[in-house]
Structure 1
Amino acid sequence: MKKKSNKQVLEMLRNMAEGLGQTFAPFCEVVVHDLSNPKNAIYAIENSLSGREVGQSVTELGLARIQDPEFPAVIANYANTFPDGRKVKSTSIGVKDDSGEYVAALCLNVDLTLFQSFQAAISQFTKIDEKEVHEHIEAGGNHSDRIHARIDDFAAARATTSRSLKPADRKQLVQELKKAGLLEVRRGAEIAAAHMGVSRATVYSDAK
């Protein structure tokens, strides 16, 4: 009876692994371990980034759970590596039977390689040489920054973006910009219109 119960648990975890694997493909490997069968523990695997296959043996973490029912049920976001050296962020979730013993585990292994490449590329792209040069590309200088900041703060307070404001909200914002004198500065209406993705005519109409 216990064996049948374990089978049901494993099948449920297999379905979960399939769903998670499809959702987070191709960055995340999802593995179901049958801890009642350590030598052939891998019951199911989605997106096999590690190169492992169904029927392979349990990991050190799985052995620790088998040996100690008090082992933590959830270990999240711990550092790991694939056999070829790629860095991985792993999460392991243990599942117990009615007697309190670990019988299965669901493990997620996220390949960090691509994300680290993105991070490095973004860091390189946004790197600025610390030279004593001061220039504002857009006419209006600090006025442009002030107008952008005022619009962005207004939009953020409404959980939206500057280009997704509802007409009524945009009109209220334009009225506030006008009251603050930001539409009277050089190219103020043009700067505001460009940041909100509307025409200058729309800004002038909202300002009335």
Structure 2
Amino acid sequence: MERSKQILESYIPLAKSTAKLFGNHCEIVIHDLTNPRSSVMYTINNHVTGRKVGQSFDHLVKTVLRSKDFKEDYLSGYTYVTEDKRTIRSSTTLIRDLEQKVIGAFCINFNVEALQQMKQFMDAFLSTPVAVEDTREQSNSDMDNVEGIVDGLIQQIIQNSVHLGMKRHERIELIRFMEEKGIFLMKGAVEKVAEQLGISKVTVYSYLDEVKKKH
């Protein structure tokens, strides 16, 4: 674990230089995915999205890993809207250790509000080309890579949370966290979580139902 921390900390100078190059609208976040529930280990210019050290990941599974454009351990140029309606353009690159296990993520978040205003101005004078939808699908190797990454997240989340004498409400809270982070959007996730928790699929589904009723 200490070696993983050293590897992740070695990316801090890159975070600082990237943020300085692109200015105050550019936020850099480094995630420690060996600690999924408190994965944010470093931020700079965190006023862009409000990310704080000790928070968990948000878009990794739901947006990045599930995208058909996620290849070679990165997804660049995806966008999302913050709670206060600002558009953020992002890039996420996974970080692996010497054994090629995913241990972290290097994320760049850019507030593109000013650029959007400029584009609206330009669109008043220039026609814009029609975007052609990319219909390519992920290759089998890309899908296997994503499956392996999610398997690792499931294992790490459960490993960091399970203890002897774990109560029902604690298991439900664990399921709630994984559901919130998009783990169960991935094919086969229920079976894998059930196996690692030593409970049945039916029990996992009942916990999920209970979690969703409370939303």
Q: What is the TM-score with the length of structure 1 in the denominator?
A: 0.52
Give the equivalent residue in structure 2 for 1:54: 53
Matched, 1:44 2:45: no
Match of 2:167 in 1: none
> What is the distance in 2 between the residues matched to 1:29 and 1:89?
10
Residue pairs, 1:14-53, within 5 angstroms = 14-48=12-46, 49-53=48-52
Partner of 2:108: 108
Alpha-carbon distance, 1:25 to partner:
1.3
- Counterpart-to-counterpart distance in 2, 1:117 and 1:60: 25
Task: Quote the residue 1:97 is aligned against.
Answer: 97
Contact 1:39 1:56 (8 Å CA) reproduced: yes
Q: 1:118 is matched by which residue type in structure 2? A: M
1:126-145 aligned at under 5 Å gives the runs none
Kept in 2, the 8 Å contact 1:33–1:104? The answer is yes
Show CA shifts across 1:88-131 (max 9, x none).
2111000111232210110011111010112223444779xxxx
Provide closer, same or farther for how the CA distance between residues 14 and 62 of structure 1 changes in structure 2, counting only shifts above 3 A: farther
CA contact 1:92–1:108 (8 Å) conserved in 2: yes
Secondary structure in structure 1 of the residue aligned to 2:11: helix
The CA deviation at 1:32 is 0.4
Q: Secondary structure at the match of 1:55?
A: coil
Q: SS of 2:51's equivalent? A: coil
CA distance in 2, matches of 1:62, 1:33: 13
Compared CA separation, residues 117 and 15, structure 1 to 2 (3 A): same
Contiguous gaps of at least 5 residues in structure 2: 128-215
Q: 1:41 to 1:62 in 2, by over 3 A?
A: farther
Q: Compare relative contact order (CA 8 Å, sep 6+) and give the higher one, 1 or 2.
A: 2
Larger C-alpha radius of gyration, 1 or 2?
1
Secondary structure of the equivalent of 1:58? coil
Query: Residue 79 of structure 1: CA displacement?
Result: 1.9
Contact conserved, 1:35 with 1:62, CA < 8 A, in 2? no
* Paired position in structure 2 for 1:79: 79
User: TM-score normalised to the size of structure 2?
Assistant: 0.50
Q: By how many angstroms is 1:62 displaced?
A: 5.8
Matched, 1:9 2:13: no
Q: Secondary structure at the match of 1:93?
A: strand
Structure 2 residue identity aligned to 1:93: T
Rounded Cα–Cα distance in structure 2 between residues aligned with 1:99 and 1:83: 38
